[in-house]
Amino acid sequence: MNNPSRGFDIFSPEFLRRQQDFENFWLFMMKGGLDKAARDSIGRASAAFISQKVGPSLFADGRIPLDERDRPTVKNLQKKGYAPVPNIFSDAEIEEIGAYVQTIPAAVSGGVPESHALLKDVPPAAGFAHFHGAAVCGCPPIYRALHDERLISLASAYLGAPATIGITTAWWSYPAPGGAEGMQMFHHDRGDFRSCNLFVYLSDVAAGTGPHSFVEHTHDMEVLLPLMSQRLGSNPEMFHKFWRWMEQHRKTDDEVRLFFPENEVLSFTGPKGKSFFEDTRGLHKGTRPQTGPRFVFEIFYSVLPKFNEVAKPQRRADLRLPAGLETDSSKLSPLVRYATRQYLV
């Protein structure tokens, strides 16, 4: 039967020729239809395609500009899947962000019915209060971080293509009863075939307050395959079991321990301000807070825009921002204007 409402009018000559059908196919491949080797290969191909398409319009010599100081960061990210960077926000900016989010509604979830509420009204049993990018990009320090050309260049150098900022978000995670679920279990992100994230802690994060955890070397087949071949190659049964397991979207801590020694399962604690890049195609989780809440900020840099979301960019000129922040889109560097286009025009 035709079901045009689902976008699958299979008897139409236009079936699979319309952008929507094609996007559905693309998402199917991204969200579990392909194994990691194929996903990573498509990621490399998409970076080559985008570089070829947009590189010449963004850079005079076609090359992504990279600050010398960021070369080791890109190398670490390639080798291990994560890399610390100097603090993105000052303490004063973190205060400013904390005050700003008290004035906008949060999406409340985790153990309570989903709702929107101001922070002061978030029910005590809630697991999360998320602030969407569209609401936080007008917060001056966040606007500045989004437009930080050095960060965009770093992400682009890692991706091998000019980056697109797909998600910007800040959220509180709260200690809540019950076991880990969702992103509090180890998982790999499936937001794009090639991506990296900047995380910034906006509250002090200790073992009890939900540290972000990452299994190093799990981000990219070019790193993971040689490692696991060396480790499990002599045991074909375990080797196959490992790759089948990798395809499971979510994994328990015990399962992770079966395949990775403790020293490779990293847990990032540190004072507020701590900032790091990570390729969340690798296994990671936000440990469920036990003793206190955690506040964190994230920018997701990818090669392609998120096809499962409609971009509703705001006009920079409409934001009320302090002098010193460029709001004339035509005056931005082409790389920055390109990277931020899903949020701001």
Q: Enumerate binding residues for ligand AKG (CB under 6 A).
A: 183, 189, 212, 280, 284, 286, 298
Residue whose CB is less far from Fe ion, 159 or 296: 296
Number of residues that bind Fe ion (CB under 5 A): 3
- Minimum distance from CB of 234 to ligand AKG (Å)? 33
189 touches Fe ion by CB under 5 A: yes
Nearer Cβ to Fe ion (158/186): 186
Instruction: Indicate the angle between helix axes 149-159 and 71-80, nearest 10 degrees.
Output: 40
8 A C-beta contact, residue 297 and residue 143: no
Beta-bridge mates of residue 276: 84, 199
Look at residue 212 and give the partner it binds from Fe ion, ligand AKG, none, a contact being a CB closer than 5 to 8 Å depending on partner kind. Answer: ligand AKG
Contact 206, 175 (CB under 8 A): no
Relative to beta strand 128-131, strand 82-85 is: unpaired
Options 10-18, 63-71, 120-128, 182-190: segment touching Fe ion (CB under 5 A): 182-190
From the list Fe ion, ligand AKG, none, partner contacted by residue 298 (C-beta under 5 to 8 A by kind): ligand AKG
Specify the residue, 81 or 286, whose C-beta has the smaller distance to ligand AKG: 286
Tokens of 36: 């990691």
Give the pair of three-digit tokens for residue 257: 């321990």
Residue 286 interacts with which of Fe ion, ligand AKG, none, CB < 5 to 8 Å by class: ligand AKG
Return the number of the residue (139 or 183) whose C-beta is nearest ligand AKG: 183
Residues 127-166 within binding reach of Fe ion (CB under 5 A): none
Distance CA(43)–CA(179), nearest Å, equals 33
Which position's Cβ is nearest ligand AKG?
Answer: 286
Closer residue to ligand AKG, CB minimum distance, 51 or 213: 213
Taking the complex as a whole, the smallest distance from the CB of residue 240 to ligand AKG amounts, in Å, to: 27
CB 194 within 8 A of CB 172: no
- Is there a contact between 150 and 67 (Cβ–Cβ < 8 Å)? yes
Q: What DSSP string describes 128-162?
A: EEEE-HHHHTTSHHHHHHHT-HHHHHHHHHHHTS-
Q: Please name the residue that has the structure tokens 């035709």.
A: 2
Half-sphere exposure of 226 (CA within 13 A, CB side): 5
* 96 contact, one of ligand AKG, Fe ion, none, CB 5-8 Å limit per kind: none
Provide, rounded to whole angstroms, the least separation between the CB of residue 294 and ligand AKG. 8
Binding site for Fe ion (CB under 5 A): 183, 189, 280
